[in-house]
Structure 1
């Protein structure tokens, strides 16, 4: 179920990247923000009118802070959550710095960069399907290790290609698609393992995972913007370091039995 939820997240990034390029060419970049505001307002009105069921949690504490602090102290939760967040950071870093690289030295147009959203979305979709098809046979830990390995391999090839000074854009964005494929394997499993490893039941672990990932995305996005350069190697190096951090978390995470 988490793999299907993650599909909507990153596939939306790819489709949005393409639609954004079309809107920019047709109506100009300010139109993107007007349309985002209008669509967000419409979504808010829809959510305000929909009644969601309220699930009562047994023995729910009066304050959530002790529960969150207790969850954070458990390696079985924290390390899988960090693994997913570091892999997510690779996507955030690329989205932050890649436009400057591809539209600079590689002379891509806005539409060409927008079209890149389709192979990115396809890579993530295929990875999510692989989770559904193989996780029961390979086990969660094994499939997550393979996913992190793909993220590391894709990032390392990006780094090697950028250090070699190649002018072939394919050697930059295709390895990134491999990294996206790996992250699509890693992310839903990391959420599942973190939730299973939580000592507190209910929605606390999932909420905390989301908060951790968004906080990491903000920090990594800020770093990527500070090191943004027309050269590809700073971004590639950052992605490789994030992937190495994710692999370290996988190696340190306690083994868990999977059904």
Structure 2
């Protein structure tokens, strides 16, 4: 494979992987404008984010078996077509209920891109190159929370919130064209692969019952729920309560993303000196303390916009350490069912995240308390689950250093 071909494949796969994160982050600055145009509240607009998380959770379980049965490209085409059509629908949406439903469909479509991209890395590149390829994909994905809300903020201010979905439509269409003409089929369809529910559910159950998996998958899912509570609640907190503009909100979101992304990279260095389970425990303990301080101060009205940003930054820094290590430890025990474990872990994360996002949306109190309470509560429950779950584990299967870097 030539260097040019190598780079081009990584660019396409990275763009496919980033489609979902862009779809989440780019429209956040438009929440107040959407609420005004559709005659609803910002809290209700946030339900369109919750429905997206539900779609991502379900889609991860759906596409894994389809990619093994029909090859990589056909399910990818179907997903991208669904994504493109749903994006057009979001652009044309005239009611909040329609937007909520269309965001669910958009999420299911975007899942095909992310799941297929991971599978195709395994197919197209030598095993020895996989860590480097995944690291490059993570750089592309990590750029999305810094670029997407900033771009979205300026687009909303200049052209209205519908313009964001026009951009997402263009991205999906471009990915469809790139996949059709420049992405090779990397896996032959397997007609012997069963799509009957029983063997699929059996594989998932064998993963779920493993003590190390359910301990770290559930604790990681709870911390991820805290992250998505922040993503869902931050538009209301910054634009409705602190009255920052959509452009400024985009820059704040980008800055806060640096904490999560930066600490996930520092984590790679820490793994040279400490075990993953040690890092997770300390990170979750710190996250719980920060969450409680954040909640107490928010209830008392102590924090200005600056104090809120500082505490969110510290909370997200802890996530940068806990999330990749918990993910790596949850998958570490599996070789045969690694795909099922990854799909189940991702679905669990997004499922808990959807509940957290839904919880934030249910409280129209015009304060930051619901968001911060769910963030603090998720951290405390994660810490409790980890402490209790470790008592049921025998000898721990240790995640490799690469796993700690790549599972993100």
Q: TM-score, normalised by structure 1?
A: 0.88
For residue 160 of structure 1, report the CA deviation from its aligned partner: 2.0
Contact kept in structure 2, 1:11 and 1:124, CA below 8 Å: no
Map of 1:53 onto structure 2: 186
User: In the comparison of the two structures, how many residue pairs are matched?
Assistant: 258
Alignment of 1:167-186 (within 5 A): 168-186=304-322
For 1:34-113, what aligned pairs fall within 5 Å after superposition? 34-49=166-181, 50-54=183-187, 63-113=199-249
Aligned-pair Cα RMSD in Å: 2.6
1:148 matched residue in structure 2: 284
Contact 1:106/1:169 (8 A) holds in 2: yes
Is the Cα–Cα contact under 8 Å of residues 150 and 182 in structure 1 kept in the other structure? yes
Contact 1:106 1:167 in 2 (8 A): no
Deviation at 1:156, TM superposition (A): 2.1
Q: Is the contact made by 1:101 and 1:229 (CA closer than 8 Å) also made in structure 2?
A: no
SS at match of 1:175: helix
* 1:130-145 matches, cutoff 5 A: 130-145=266-281
Contiguous gaps of at least 5 residues in structure 2: 1-130, 401-408
Return closer, same or farther for 1:248/1:47 CA change in 2, 3 Å cut-off: farther
For residues 247 and 143 of structure 1, do their structure 2 counterparts lie closer, same or farther at Cα, with a shift above 3 Å needed?
Answer: same
The answer as to whether partners of 2:225 and 2:352 remain within 8 angstroms in 1 is yes
Among 156, 167, 176, the alignment partner of 1:24 is 156
**Separation in structure 2 between the aligned mates of residue 185 and residue 56 of structure 1, nearest angstrom:** 38
Q: Output the CA distance in 1 between the equivalents of 2:306 and 2:166.
A: 33
2:364 is the counterpart of 1:224? no
Q: 2:28 aligns to what? A: none
Q: Secondary structure at the match of 1:162?
A: helix
What TM-score do the two structures reach when normalised by structure 2? 0.58
Residue 243 to residue 3, structure 1, CA distance change in 2 (3 Å): farther
Structure 1 gap ranges (5+): none
User: Is this contact kept in 1: 2:203–2:340, CA < 8 A?
Assistant: yes
Higher RCO (C-alpha 8 Å, min separation 6)? 1
